[in-house]
Structure 1
């Protein structure tokens, strides 16, 4: 039986530059903390000229009356009430969208804010524990992940209320903690004047890290893509590519520990993005956990923080819906 009676359905969406995925959250079971998600549909974003026409197409396809609530996760910047989807050339305001579709509630959040909102509702059996620990109840949670870029956010608890803190952690300076990393930074710094977290932990960053690793090891640099590097490493065809992946996974452990300290994330750290799920074995067997806790006098602070690699589907839908329910 549902934990909430007369649940008002919510249109949820994950709007990206390539695809736009929609669904309707039809119920929420408070006992299991799980959302019921149905009526999935995917559109090619570029086939529409605006957010309004895209949303209208989904609503028209529903076999029932339009829900009065909507929550959208978008891969784009927001400023006040204005949302810009740069890759699509779309710009809209929340007020206009809410008025046009006569919505009683509308929320638009970025994709990593959705990840943070979703964190308390994830199912442990669908995800992968990378570092064991004991999360504190009602403590801050950090989310992060490398993909096309690097995103991060935090779910912040304040007594009985909670909210999401968005940030630009991908652009903080990347620190070296080993002699090898210091050598790698020197090489990477020849390509980019500011070595940020995103400059290493992203698709393009993996390629940059490979080039630096080859140079440090006095090997020729091949024109490998990120996909090439991963494939050659995981298939055992290239030792230098495998070393690159190991370094990628270990170094991101340091970054995860830094963000755990920054956000006070004693409720846990969750890692997503499109890259790390493809290199699970390397992540599990490298020194990720040791790098995560190597924080000098604050090692005790991060020692018991668990880290989870999120492979569960529908995170943007869950997070979007959750953003309407938190207070």
Structure 2
């Protein structure tokens, strides 16, 4: 669904944006920006199965061939893979390209390639509050840092660093930092996990495979033999399985502590935005959990954490909005 906007009288140079993942390659053109509502107009959307192409260039050529307007000269790609210097790798697809060579070949005046969670961070100030869910109210400082995070296939996080001179995104590997237990149950779960993991990271619990691990560990802590369940099966069986239900509840509780830790780490007085593929599907459970209590239980910094708003992002097209915002922010600078 396209972002709606009022008619913009200022000239806006269109931007090709893309969201490139292991399953789908999604393309669009940003044709307008409304400076009153902070909304981008997303047009000419197309989605292709990534696996049908041998390379990213082939996917881009296919999209441009069907585009009914003149090819824009600006582009930003959000990719689910590592970026090192100008080298971009989509390991699940076997795709690899050089961004500078792509820019030259396509004759773009401007091309940026960013990680998908960097795109989430860029998108944060441009999200529509009416389309997302407030998990914790607070008072966001308009020029302060914003943290984004979320469990999905892995656990991603990034920070939009802001000051009076502008903004930049700080990417990180927060999913691989050590997971801190807070409650007695946390500690019992961590102790049980140590039998199979030497280092227990955030991602080891807060991800798809992590949710399945949390279920197995919860069952053992409760003295019950676990079944061999996937994350989806844990969710599906929650209404009939006490251990599955307890697993999902604790997942929502404990991630409150994780989100609070990262909010302090990033100095995220501008707010915390949570996405990923798991929590948007259990928003009611998250709202009824101890997330807020555990987010704010930070000792001397409890008052600091208490003022930070937390939003669960369920809005569509986040990578496309973030890709647009990345280019737009630079043009404003």
Q: How would you bin the TM-score normalised by the shorter chain?
A: over 0.9
Correspondence for 1:317 among 315, 320, 324: 320
Pair 1:33-2:34 in alignment: no
TM-score (norm 1): 0.98
TM-score (norm 2): 0.96
Pair 1:257-2:260 in alignment: yes
SS of 1:67's partner is coil
Structure 1 residues not aligned, in runs of 5+: none
Partner of 1:61: 66
Q: Which digits, 9 at most, give the CA deviation of each residue in 1:36-59, with x for residues without a partner?
A: 001110011111111111111100
Structure 2 residues not aligned, in runs of 5+: 1-5
CA distance in 1, matches of 2:9, 2:167: 20
Partner of 2:80: 75
Deviation at 1:207, TM superposition (A): 0.5
Pair 1:237-2:254 in alignment: no
Deviation at 1:218, TM superposition (A): 0.4
Question: Map of 1:1-327 to 2, 5 A cutoff?
Answer: 1-3=6-8, 5-233=10-238, 236-326=239-329, 327=333
Bigger drift between 171-180 and 153-162 goes to 153-162
CA distance in 2, matches of 1:137, 1:226: 37
CA distance in 2, matches of 1:55, 1:62: 11
SS of 2:237's partner is helix
Number of equivalenced pairs: 325
Deviation at 1:5, TM superposition (A): 1.6
Backbone CA RMSD of aligned residues: 0.9
